[in-house]
Amino acid sequence: MSYSMSTLLTRNLHDVFGENDPARRRAAIDEIFTEDCVFYEPRGVYRGRDEIDRVAGAIKATHPDFRYQIITGPEELGNGGRIQWASGRPGEAPAYAGT
């Protein structure tokens, strides 16, 4: 299935990095990422679905009760994109934000 860049960015935030359930997270990864995908973030570069699954699970485990909120809509940049978000406990001020 083909998705727009905006849809992929939003699903990556909520269905991959925001998902607590490992089986649902992995199903989303298998659906939206290719096997040779690469994910870049400040602490490293992760290659392939298994690595993305591992790092997404590790990040979510540090704050399982936090929820991601989109600050500004997805921006498409050539064949890539970014989305600005904040994260924190529901009903409280965000604890941190990122892009």
DSSP string, 51-86: HHHHHHHHHHHT-TT-EEEEEEEEEEETTEEEEEEE
CATH class given for the domain over 5-98: alpha beta
Model-level pTM greater than 0.75?
A: yes
Q: How confident is the model at residue 69 (pLDDT cuts 50, 70, 90)?
A: very high
Q: What is the mean pLDDT of the chain?
A: 94
- Residue range 25-49: mean pLDDT, rounded: 94
Mean pLDDT along residues 40-45: 89
Structural domain boundaries of the chain? 5-98
**pLDDT band at residue 1, thresholds of 50, 70 and 90?**
low
Average pLDDT over residues 57-78: 94
